[in-house]
């Protein structure tokens, strides 16, 4: 894939974040998501790529835009598979909480697992602990291995976990092993990325979250040199059948990085909607201007760029028209 594509993708996540950010704290998660979807889909029309959405807003009959199987981009570029989450953390935006993101993951055609919308058990770490964790090992065993790899005491480690009743046992085991815990309400893509960025202070992600989000997060970790192991967690026979339709005969198969993202030329772009562990949120400034903070990465080169961008928005404050002397 062309290096220039990475910066084009940032323009797409910036547009989605700028639109969703207008609704921060307004209690309207559906509105924030729709605003981001509209902006992201519109901006995709300018990207020189032949894209196919493999993880998006749902099936075609459920989503008018960015649906699974939709063709996006100008169609005159390299053929790629695309996973999008216009707002990763709709509740976070609605409530004005940290770590809401707009994200895009891109890989060569057939390079991303077409994960169905179901639960996935995950463990994720950054580069230093890559190769030292096992989804089937106990929480304590994994924490010991991570501590050894990072030259830390277990008491220095921070595990990030989504606060849900299903994770009560995991939380107890982390506490019992002597590690510290950062509980979050939503947003396990941001949580997984945080394990691979040193200044966040997060060492490992444990727990069950969304499968599509798992593939998106795995793409980011591939670019950052980290690791994720995962296993799909179907709730009923219909979900079991969906897994088999994907070509996975073994429903209990432990998924490694090569299963989640195949190939070494993945790209990942993310823009903060609300400020969080590694990105600032959208800042709306005087005169109809705004600032965004983004991260764009490419696995093949290992390049990681933080991008500060200033935007002149079309919409001016209302008082400009009412009192031009202000």
Whole-angstrom distance, CA of residue 200 vs CA of residue 158: 10
Locate 297 and state its tokens: 């990465």
Place of tokens 């005159």: 76
pLDDT at 217: 97
The annotated binding site is made up of 33, 57, 85, 88-90, 119, 164-166, 186-188, 210, 213
Nearest-angstrom CA–CA distance, 190 and 157 = 18
Known binding positions for Mn(2+): 33, 57, 85, 88, 213
Please state whether 247 falls in left (phi above 0), alpha (psi between -120 and 50) or beta.
Answer: left
Q: What is the pLDDT of residue 314?
A: 72
- What pLDDT is attached to residue 62? 78
Return the bridge partners of 184, or none. Answer: 162
Per-residue pLDDT, 319: 46
CATH architecture type of domain 3-110+266-319: 2-Layer Sandwich (3.30)
pLDDT per residue as tens, the chain (326 positions): 566 788 899 999 999 999 999 999 999 999 999 999 999 999 999 999 999 999 999 887 778 899 999 999 998 888 999 999 999 999 999 999 999 999 999 999 999 999 889 999 999 999 999 999 999 999 999 999 999 999 999 999 999 999 999 999 999 999 999 999 999 999 999 999 999 998 999 999 999 999 999 999 999 999 999 999 999 999 999 999 988 887 788 889 999 999 999 877 899 999 999 999 999 999 999 988 999 999 999 999 999 999 999 999 876 555 444 555 54
* Dist. CA 4–CA 9, nearest whole Å: 9
Using CA atoms, how far apart are residues 114 and 54, in angstroms rounded to an integer? Answer: 6
User: What is the rounded CA–CA span in Å between residue 24 and residue 99?
Assistant: 12
Six token digits for residue 259: 């299963």
Binding-site residue positions for substrate: 88-90, 119, 164-166, 186-188, 210
Residue-range domain boundaries for the chain? 3-110+266-319, 119-260
User: Which residues make Cβ contacts (< 8 Å) with residue 323, sequence separation at least 6?
Assistant: none
The Cβ-side half-sphere exposure at 48, using a 13 Å CA radius, reads 8
CA proximity to 222, closest of 111, 68, 81: 111
**Taking the alpha carbons of 128, 280, 107, 84 in that order, is the dihedral positive or negative?**
positive
- Per DSSP bridges, beta strands 71-72 and 267-272 are unpaired
CATH of domain 119-260: 3.40.190.90
Q: How far apart are CA 104 and CA 141, in angstroms?
A: 33
Here the tokens at position 131 are 């190769």
Q: What is the four-CA torsion angle of 243, 248, 250, 255, rounded to 10 degrees?
A: -100
Q: Compute CA distances 319 → 19, 183, 291, 325, whole Å.
A: 21, 42, 21, 10
Picking from 60, 3, 131, 112, the residue whose alpha carbon sits closest to that of residue 103 is 112
Residues 202 and 158: beta-carbon distance below 8 Å:
yes
User: Would you call 4 exposed, middle or buried from its count of C-beta atoms within 10 A (0-12, 13-18, 19+)?
Assistant: exposed
Locate 261 and state its tokens.
């993202």
290 in Cβ contact with 313 (< 8 Å): yes
Q: What is the pLDDT of residue 1?
A: 56
**Nearest by Cα to 93 from 105, 83, 104, 101:** 101
Question: What distances in angstroms separate CA 256 from CA 31, 36, 122, 130, 210, one per listed residue?
Answer: 35, 31, 10, 12, 16
């Amino acid at each position: 894939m062309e290096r220039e594509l990475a910066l084009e993708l940032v323009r797409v996540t910036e547009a989605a974040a700028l639109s969703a950010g207008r609704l921060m704290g307004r209690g309207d998660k559906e509105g924030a998501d729709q605003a981001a979807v509209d902006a992201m889909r519109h901006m995709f029309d300018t990207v020189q790529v032949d894209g196919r959405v493999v993880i998006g807003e749902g099936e075609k009959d459920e989503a008018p835009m960015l649906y699974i199987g939709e063709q996006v981009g100008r169609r005159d570029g390299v053929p790629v598979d695309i996973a999008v989450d216009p707002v990763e953390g709709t509740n976070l935006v609605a409530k004005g909480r940290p770590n809401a993101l707009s994200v895009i993951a891109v890989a060569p055609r057939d390079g991303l697992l077409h994960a169905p919308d179901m639960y996935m058990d995950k463990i994720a770490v950054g580069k230093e602990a890559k190769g030292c964790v096992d989804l089937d090992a106990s929480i304590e065993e994994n924490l010991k291995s991570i501590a050894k790899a990072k030259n830390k005491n277990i008491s220095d480690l921070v595990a990030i976990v989504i606060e849900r009743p299903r994770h009560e046992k995991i939380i107890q085991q982390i506490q019992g092993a002597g590690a510290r815990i950062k509980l979050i309400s939503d947003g396990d893509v941001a949580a997984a990325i945080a394990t691979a960025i040193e200044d966040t202070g997060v060492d490992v992600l444990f727990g069950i979250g969304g499968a599509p989000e798992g593939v998106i997060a795995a793409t980011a970790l591939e670019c950052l040199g980290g690791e994720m192991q995962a296993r799909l967690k179907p709730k009923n026979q219909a979900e079991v059948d969906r897994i088999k339709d994907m070509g996975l005969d073994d429903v209990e198969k432990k998924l490694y990085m090569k299963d989640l993202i195949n190939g070494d030329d993945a790209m990942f772009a993310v823009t903060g909607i609300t400020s969080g562990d590694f990105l600032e949120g959208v800042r709306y400034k005087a005169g109809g201007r705004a600032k965004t903070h983004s991260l764009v990465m490419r696995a093949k080169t290992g390049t990681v760029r933080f991008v500060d961008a200033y935007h002149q928005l079309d919409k001016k404050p209302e008082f400009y028209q009412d009192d031009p002397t202000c």
